[in-house]
Amino acid sequence: MLSEALHILSVDVEDYFQVEAFARNVSREEWDRWPSRVVANTHRALDLCDEYGVKATYFTLGWVADKFPGLVREIQARGHELACHSFWHRPVYSLTPEEFRQDLRQGRDAVEQASGVKVFGYRAPSWSITAKSLWALEILAEEGFTYDSSIYPVYHDLYGIPGVSRFPYQVEMGNGAKLAEFPPTTMKILGATLPAAGGGYLRILPLGLNQWAIRSLARSGSPVVVVYFHPWELDPEQPRIAAFAKSRFRHYTNLNRMESRLRRILEANRYRPFRDFFDTPGMQANLDKNRLAAVLSTAPLMNYQFRAE
């Protein structure tokens, strides 16, 4: 039986060598030298969606859209939503506000030019909108984006803002602009908020725990449950890159199990793109009930109105 929560499937379209875990090993100047597998892997993702009657949001890297515009057009032709995943896949907190704005525009324009449709959603590379880069939310609103899915409410060595809402919420900036924020799926265990149901967490954690996390979040009152993955996670035969052991563990563990796990996840609920949240009557009213917690005193550049859940 389907839950009343809106289950959203999102795909971060990037190649295997473009992940931040390998940034020290593969420079952006070298991307053209590596054998690209993103087209074939995204076709696998599209075919999987077709098989289960799923429409998803494809957060597409601008570099990919610029190099493979036909792939972007195919995503659009198959009825999926296109969104922006930056152009160069650089962590937001490593950029200045002006560098971020430039990369944002370049990435969005590449997707829009390839597809001919306007982009309204954004996801930062490596969930890199953190307490150090919350100024990015105001820039997103200024640039015409209506929603973001970049803030992970967990502790992590590379990303996350612990303590913020696990449910979707509306961020209100000091200038009056508003932006809907959609966190990925998390689970509550012994009072701690832990990640689940996406990317490496879907591959590495037990499948039953991921399934429980999805059910639990839906039953806890969240109007949205967000599941995500990358096309390269469907490709166990991808070339191996020499890197630190932790990076290799996060990237390569259980690649051979990802497709079967995704199938189990997709068969349990009807998954939709983010745009359906805004197209469903009355759904946006839920944003007013789930607001960002006031725990971000360490972010000196922010002037947003944060309110408790």
Q: What is the mean pLDDT of residues 4-14?
A: 95
Look at residue 308 and tell me if it is in a domain: no
Distance (Å, rounded) from C-alpha 103 to C-alpha 28? 14
Q: What is the mean pLDDT of residues 211-217?
A: 96
Q: What is the mean pLDDT of residues 32-48?
A: 97
CA atoms within 13 A on the CB side of 277: 29
Q: What is the mean pLDDT of residues 39-54?
A: 98
Nearest one of 263, 262, 241, 265 to 252, comparing CA atoms: 241
Residue 300, pLDDT > 60, answer: no
pLDDT at position 157 is 83
Q: What is the mean pLDDT of residues 75-81?
A: 98
pLDDT in tens, 149-202: 999 999 888 888 998 889 999 888 777 788 999 999 999 999 899 999 999 999
Task: State residue 12 phi and psi, 5-degree precision.
Answer: -90, 105
> Residue 260 in 3-state DSSP?
helix
pLDDT class of 31 with cuts at 50, 70, 90:
very high
Look at residue 296 and tell me if it is in a domain: no
Look at residue 89 and tell me if it is in a domain: yes
Residue 297, pLDDT > 90, answer: no
How many domains is the chain partitioned into structurally? 1
Look at residue 1 and tell me if it is in a domain: no
pLDDT at position 291 is 42
The burial class, CB within 10 Å (0-12 / 13-18 / 19+), for 84 is buried
| Domain, as residue range, for 40 | 6-289
Angle at 145 between CA 155 and CA 270, to 5 degrees: 70
pLDDT at position 37 is 98
CB 218 within 8 Å of CB 226: no
pLDDT at position 177 is 80
pLDDT in tens, 88-119: 999 999 999 999 999 999 999 999 999 999 99
pLDDT in tens, 190-208: 989 999 999 999 999 999 9
Look at residue 53 and tell me if it is in a domain: yes
Look at residue 204 and tell me if it is in a domain: yes
pLDDT at position 243 is 87
Look at residue 304 and tell me if it is in a domain: no
Residue 56 sits in a domain whose CATH number is 3.20.20.370
Look at residue 85 and tell me if it is in a domain: yes
pLDDT at position 226 is 97
pLDDT in tens, 260-270: 999 999 999 99
